[in-house]
Structure 1
Amino acid sequence: MRFTTEKIKLIIQVLEQAVSEHRGWLNDWHRSLIFGQPLASTCFLKDSYRKCGFGQWYYSQSSPILSDHSVFILIGQIHRDLHNKAFVLADKIKHYGTISIKDYDFFIAKEQDFSKKIFDLRDELREVLFEIDPLTDIFNRQAFFRILSYEYERASRTGQPCCICMVDLDHFKAINDTYGHLVGDRVLRAVAHYLTGKLRPYDSMCRYGGEEFLICLPNTKLDKAKKIVNRLRIGLLSLPIDLDNDKQVKITASFGIAKMAINITINDNIIRADEALYAAKYGGRNQAIAYEEIRPALKNARRNVK
């Protein structure tokens, strides 16, 4: 599932609107308590947590960005407890005309906990926005290093194999020069969408820079990684990228693969994948080469093939 910047922005917007509506319910409750006005009928409903604006939004969520999120689930529990407490207090006010300070303080503590968790979730979603490349809607380079660090540590601890792959679009400058940068952007988005859609659920990818992408393939031996990468490479050959004049532009890409080694740094592993990519381009492009396969003369060579 691809979590695009637009999806996340929309969730933040709707979340803030739902919280605003919930504050309206809370303000009405306080006015009734302070000024002795009758409480709204919804306060006496045992499922009032589903009836308020926030509840209607919360229980209609189907987005995996939220529905499986631990903080989102906790927010639902706190929100339900908050309304259940409001129901109990409303019943006491109805029968006795007042409530105890202890009951009120408990209710306020629940409300403050609810608000804090909401803001925590909103702030976390905002942080996610900074980890996504706005053009391609995949991880940016900075965020991807966190993923690579985790996989590097896991490979070091468990001995499980992991491979990384550097991808570079062939002759991308010619596409920009011929069709313009807007078409170039369209190509980058199409390629990112295609590759992420064909990767396994536990694989990950980032835009490394320009027309370069970096893929991480956990729990994957080198021979398996090469099969996966070649499948991606062949798929790109038939990827349709439509132009505004009813024509299509075709693209190919070169792939450099490296088995993650734990006796060198993450950056050095990336350099190995980059050197394998150079070898793929030097050898004619539109191919996948592993670092372990390249000739010694090409290792550590300066990249001057585009």
Structure 2
Amino acid sequence: MYRINREKLQAIIQELDQAMYNHSQWYQNIIRSLVCRLPFDHRDLADDAHRQCTFGQWYYHCSDAEIQQNKTFQSIRTEHRQTHQFVQKLLQASEKNKPVLPIDYDNFANAVERLRLNMQTLKYELEETLYNRDPLTGVSNRISMLSDLRKQMELIERHVETTVIAILDLDHFKQVNDSYGHPMGDTVLSEIAAFILQHLRAYDSIYRYGGEEFLIMMPHSDLDTATAIIERIREGVGNVRTRSSGGEPISVTVSAGLTQLREHQSIEAAIQSADKALYDAKLLGRNRVVVASS
């Protein structure tokens, strides 16, 4: 999951849409110049033409580090540069009034198609992340949670993965809404979600499970490792301070229930087990972590 806020993700998708449109216009102009034997933009012959074109200007100035690490985004770099290298051969032949060789045109056409596919894939990945986000907190929503948990369960059934889930609930959160109003409660909830997200491992996932409840999926974990992670988060949440409109610091605590996903167990049963452990944490006084009994 991309750890980018919703507004920034929307902006990146809009920029990508514009960059894709610009690339399409560039391609159409190249074909028109070749077919109609019209003058072409000689910047397309430059060694750094892939950086000068409008798509390249977006690509090489995309500042988000997480997007830059995306495998599809990195594949685009290779395909985009090759597209410009292949078109240079076509333009050089046209400039010298030589025939365009079929192999050179095929190389160009195939590179363009691969580039388009990578662009569409990147857009799909970004949009899937955006639409599977909870609009308030920015973390994944319940729909993507069930899908991800089922995929994880398939790995567990094949004995290639161990995974622990935790359900976290903010203690006495109704008091925050009653005392400061729901808008401030939303702010507190969003800041807690952001704190949790920042303190998970790169391959852990967090989902908004209910009103003030979150489910965390921790692959590559046994119960001891997962419990240590959630304990650190529990302690950290207690130190988060949100300022009310009057400047008063607002703090909350969190209770959590953990369980390990097991083969031949349904997702629903696993969630119920973690929920029962959360209930026990509440009964024991809140602000604590309880591991479900096996």
TM-score by length of 2: 0.90
Give the direction of change, closer, same or farther, for the CA distance of 1:32–1:225 in structure 2 (3 Å limit): closer
Following the alignment from structure 1 to structure 2, what is the Cα–Cα distance between the partners of residues 14 and 278? 45
Following the alignment from structure 1 to structure 2, what is the Cα–Cα distance between the partners of residues 164 and 107? 48
Tell me the residue number matched to 1:204: 205
AA matched with 2:163 = C
In the alignment, is the contact (CA less than 8 A) between 2:33 and 2:39 conserved in 1? Answer: yes
Per the TM alignment, residue 40 of structure 1 is displaced from its structure 2 partner at its CA by 1.3
AA matched with 1:28 = N
Give the direction of change, closer, same or farther, for the CA distance of 1:150–1:34 in structure 2 (3 Å limit): closer
Give the direction of change, closer, same or farther, for the CA distance of 1:103–1:190 in structure 2 (3 Å limit): same
Following the alignment from structure 2 to structure 1, what is the Cα–Cα distance between the partners of residues 161 and 56? 44
Query: Do residues 132 (structure 1) and 133 (structure 2) align?
Result: yes
Tell me the residue number matched to 1:50: 51
Query: Do residues 276 (structure 1) and 282 (structure 2) align?
Result: no
Farther-moved stretch of structure 1 (222-231 vs 152-161): 152-161
The 5 A counterparts of 1:156-305 are: 156-158=157-159, 161-292=162-293
Where structure 2 has 5 or more consecutive residues not aligned to the other structure, the ranges are: none
Following the alignment from structure 1 to structure 2, what is the Cα–Cα distance between the partners of residues 122 and 230? 37
Q: Deviations over 1:257-290 (max 9, x none)?
A: 1122324211101101101111111222111111
Per the TM alignment, residue 47 of structure 1 is displaced from its structure 2 partner at its CA by 2.5
Tell me the residue number matched to 1:15: 16
Following the alignment from structure 1 to structure 2, what is the Cα–Cα distance between the partners of residues 124 and 162? 24
Farther-moved stretch of structure 1 (257-266 vs 283-292): 257-266
Give the direction of change, closer, same or farther, for the CA distance of 1:286–1:6 in structure 2 (3 Å limit): same
Structure 2 counterpart SS, 1:129: helix
Farther-moved stretch of structure 1 (103-112 vs 2-11): 103-112
In the alignment, is the contact (CA less than 8 A) between 2:150 and 2:267 conserved in 1? Answer: yes
AA matched with 1:244 = S
Structure 2 counterpart SS, 1:158: coil
Q: Stretches of 4+ moved more than 6 A in 1?
A: none
Following the alignment from structure 1 to structure 2, what is the Cα–Cα distance between the partners of residues 76 and 27? 20
Following the alignment from structure 1 to structure 2, what is the Cα–Cα distance between the partners of residues 124 and 217? 22
Tell me the residue number matched to 1:153: 154
Aligned length in residues: 293
Per the TM alignment, residue 103 of structure 1 is displaced from its structure 2 partner at its CA by 4.4
Where structure 1 has 5 or more consecutive residues not aligned to the other structure, the ranges are: 294-306
| Structure with bigger gyration radius | 1
The 5 A counterparts of 1:55-134 are: 55-96=56-97, 98-100=99-101, 103-104=104-105, 106-134=107-135
Give the direction of change, closer, same or farther, for the CA distance of 1:162–1:27 in structure 2 (3 Å limit): closer
In the alignment, is the contact (CA less than 8 A) between 2:89 and 2:104 conserved in 1? Answer: no
Give the direction of change, closer, same or farther, for the CA distance of 1:119–1:221 in structure 2 (3 Å limit): closer
For the aligned residue pairs, the C-alpha RMSD in angstroms reads 2.2
Farther-moved stretch of structure 1 (52-61 vs 183-192): 52-61
AA matched with 1:120 = T
AA matched with 1:92 = A
Q: Deviations over 1:139-189 (max 9, x none)?
A: 111112233223323333337543211111111122112211111111111
Per the TM alignment, residue 225 of structure 1 is displaced from its structure 2 partner at its CA by 2.5
Per the TM alignment, residue 224 of structure 1 is displaced from its structure 2 partner at its CA by 3.1
Following the alignment from structure 1 to structure 2, what is the Cα–Cα distance between the partners of residues 28 and 80? 18
Identical-pair percentage: 35
Following the alignment from structure 2 to structure 1, what is the Cα–Cα distance between the partners of residues 144 and 268? 14
